[in-house]
Structure 1
């Protein structure tokens, strides 16, 4: 019943879904209920509006909104117009968003000003104003390539006017009347499988954003692989807590459902009781997420008040899985199947638990390589393959490894060798069944509630404080989130900064999951003979936590 075809495009996937699943529910978001035919029509309207704005093939459209029906329409419509999408994390502050918009030279930004009380456009304008050589014209002075900002009003405020300089969502859709439907269909037909579909920016260990480029054929294939492993069908009701700006919510979420005929239920902000109410009232059957989602549900005092018997399948990934979590998810939440998976933005699906796998084995490994993926584990010293059961760096080769980093050939060459092997920077081992177990990271990156945190970026924010001389950030344990950032800071001579003020300084510059939960002042940072900071020693130190 799948509409997935090898070597296809997202517009073709959407056309197939509209034809095959027609009147079946596609997106259910509160009072908004779209069937597959209506979703395709709305996406075409978005595409026509883009064309009215002058959007051309390969132009970038940034989407900075929460999980909601309009995100799905904006994504599919932008891709159908021949554009490349650049999703932005809704937790970003102005400086983070401005850096990515400038780097990608996005032509259009679709945002939702006021989500969770955030003035996205105000933050962005304040940050972009400081860009050197930035043009003072346009909707966001300092971002000369940005020709239009489209504002989707927050849920519950459909009649709210757009901020000055922005186009309201309704007015944006009205622009479609200027372009015939045939023009949008022609643009969708021109999209080729090897065209760049999306650029997902992910910070590296340098803290600078790197844009991971994927082709349409890769994006659709990732969705197919995930949908097959989850056994998605048109009968499934798929609650998406995973953010749409992340590959998990976008490719393993929206597009996996689209190709399977499943109904998408966007969850804009995680609230345990509201999520349990949604599962009960809408009979949700598929609910993947970071482990912190499930630990929060399991520990909720009203868990027993809700009927969660419809739950069928979950993948708990993106962070270290607490002991016994999968057992509790089956026994207490009622999932028939719980899987582990491993992937990266550069190769979204690497390994996944096998169907009907022994639950004990699922808890220990992320499963074998998925369709089309080759795995090698190599010695860190000489690059030779390590035997079964031994730790090595994980190398991946696949048709779905990224095309490369956007306009960064040097970083691309450093990540992918001439034989096509991508260095993940992660450490793992294979068992006798060919299943992968993650054991560590070469990179210093860690996850907070399923979101990646790169210490260099946080350290940059810390050392921008006038009273901070040096800083080193490591992961500290947290019962709910798995880990949080802990900062070790050396003050400037004569300064005595307040820890709360340093944290507030970071909160103004970073998404909340990146902000250190604790600042520990030290006289000096431990270093080796070459001057490199010994973060392992910092991580072993007791702190105030």
Structure 2
């Protein structure tokens, strides 16, 4: 099996050059047209000085240009630094600095996203490696510079296609994904071309994307493994991918029907927004597999109701480190088991899932809960420039310590139960509360902040408890407004409450805040709000 990313394009050109690779609105993009776009993009990148080993930040919604940049950078031997479009100045600056990106590719704006405005809130001096900013859809209003760097238009239509030969290294880093870290900023997960290509083929076969009539809807953002792995799997075997620039429930429901979509993957909240718009039995008659990641604790009952309506939901498992869609529950399982996270690895016998007792370190038999450890072809080689975190995550035998709790079933499949640590799922992304707290602690009127997650209106939201500086006035609304300007929307606290001190416990390692008691306090305050509204 070929392991270079470009081999997926070559296979498409050989077997289905005129076949539809992507559907974007009214536009149908054949494999041959996409290959031409990739080669022109490669020519443009080289003209901008991008070469082997360079890092390029891509900060775009789900456009075909995102994918063209990915394949073109792979051919060059450069690395795509994936930047979430929901990130704001604090997070974008951190990722660009940490990765050493020499170029950032963005678009002028999209709906409520003001890319240039977010850049304006960053400190240019903190980005010494950044040389150029490239803008899609540039026009007369596009500034000549941003962050003091020259702005160049992403103008690939005038470029000649690059030569067909691909000389890239399948083991060289091709993409950096972000994942929550133990410090204020996320870690950068490295993946070479090999893991992505092998995983694409495994996913395509395991999920039946290689079957006649398969059509895939890309609901999730390409900037994360959950979104990118799905589209690569469909692309590998010729299942047309329907693109949504950013997720919208009613729009997704319409596309599912219009294009007779058979496969899609998303979060539990996404499925709520899709299914609530379409009543009745078998709302999507073409559907074969609708895989989901359960990021809220309240989805079980809804999933059972959806399955009773004929929606083929199945639970998934994955992470940036082992790639998303790593496993899925078999469709022939009873519904109660099918909607649990986990399942059977798509790599089959090449993957091993084991459970280790967190107290004794012993490997556990089926039915007993412990930390999930994974050995598989899709396991990442490490975190970028972070050997300490890599050594902590990867065991000497190559298994990845997931930090998740789960158990094996008697048939060899596994069940994901919950995270071991304090990390929480927000907006479909795993977030360490420390990331949010670090931003809050820089506000001059605050001396400390603690963040916990609670259920508000059926969604997991964060709330913040803060301690004010002596004599300072703490304005909760003003703090929330400033957070909106600095972090992704899903990280903005739904409530900010000032307290004099936190509940703590003393241990051999020092004083630790009791987050469980803060969570209880948050629930009590929310209940008081509800009661006061009702009186």
Tell me the TM-score normalised to structure 2 length: 0.90
Q: 2:51 aligns with which of 53, 56, 69?
A: 56
Q: How does 1:64-103 map onto structure 2 within 5 Å?
A: 64-103=59-98
Aligned to 2:37: 42
* 8 Å CA contact 1:108, 1:147 repeated in 2: yes
**Matches of 2:114 and 2:305 in 1, distance apart?**
39
SS at match of 1:464: coil
Residue by residue, what CA displacement relative to the aligned partner does 1:393-416 show, whole Å, maximum 9, x if unpaired?
A: 111122221111111111111111
Alignment CA distance shift 1:543-1:160 (3 Å) = farther
Q: Give the drift of 1:190.
A: 1.0
> Within the alignment, does 1:244 sit opposite 2:222 as a pair?
yes
Residue by residue, what CA displacement relative to the aligned partner does 1:210-269 show, whole Å, maximum 9, x if unpaired?
A: 111111110112222222222003622211111010101112x22111101011111122
> Within the alignment, does 1:227 sit opposite 2:211 as a pair?
no
Greater Cα shift, 288-297 or 431-440: 431-440
SS at match of 1:399: coil
Aligned to 1:277: 254
Q: How does 1:453-532 map onto structure 2 within 5 Å?
A: 453-481=431-459, 483-529=460-506, 530-532=510-512
Aligned to 2:292: 316
Alignment CA distance shift 1:160-1:261 (3 Å) = farther
Q: Give the drift of 1:354.
A: 2.2
Q: How does 1:65-464 map onto structure 2 within 5 Å?
A: 65-129=60-124, 131=126, 143-153=127-137, 162-165=142-145, 166-169=151-154, 171-174=155-158, 176-177=159-160, 181-182=162-163, 185-186=164-165, 189-233=166-210, 235-251=213-229, 253-300=230-277, 303=279, 308-317=284-293, 319-320=295-296, 322-332=299-309, 334-335=310-311, 337-348=312-323, 349-371=325-347, 372-464=350-442
* 8 Å CA contact 2:190, 2:380 repeated in 1: yes
Unaligned stretches of 5+ in structure 2?
A: 146-150, 527-535
SS at match of 2:488: coil
Q: Give the drift of 1:168.
A: 2.3
Q: Give the drift of 1:37.
A: 1.0
**Matches of 1:351 and 1:30 in 2, distance apart?**
31
Residue by residue, what CA displacement relative to the aligned partner does 1:174-217 show, whole Å, maximum 9, x if unpaired?
A: 2x24xx632xx33xx21122121211122312222211111111
SS at match of 1:368: strand
Aligned to 1:138: none
* 8 Å CA contact 1:95, 1:124 repeated in 2: no
**Matches of 2:256 and 2:67 in 1, distance apart?**
21
**Matches of 1:428 and 1:49 in 2, distance apart?**
47
SS at match of 1:190: coil
Aligned to 2:10: 15
* 8 Å CA contact 2:204, 2:234 repeated in 1: yes
**Matches of 2:351 and 2:143 in 1, distance apart?**
46
* 8 Å CA contact 2:3, 2:193 repeated in 1: yes
Alignment CA distance shift 1:34-1:168 (3 Å) = same
**Matches of 1:111 and 1:532 in 2, distance apart?**
41
Alignment CA distance shift 1:366-1:8 (3 Å) = same
Q: Give the drift of 1:431.
A: 2.5
**Matches of 2:76 and 2:27 in 1, distance apart?**
24
Alignment CA distance shift 1:18-1:480 (3 Å) = farther
Q: Give the drift of 1:377.
A: 1.3
* 8 Å CA contact 2:73, 2:174 repeated in 1: no
Q: Give the drift of 1:446.
A: 0.9
**Matches of 1:478 and 1:21 in 2, distance apart?**
48
SS at match of 1:330: helix
Unaligned stretches of 5+ in structure 1?
A: 132-142
Q: Give the drift of 1:328.
A: 3.0
**Matches of 1:160 and 1:235 in 2, distance apart?**
44
Q: CA RMSD in A?
A: 2.2
Q: Give the drift of 1:173.
A: 4.0
Q: Give the drift of 1:303.
A: 4.1
Tell me the TM-score normalised to structure 1 length: 0.89
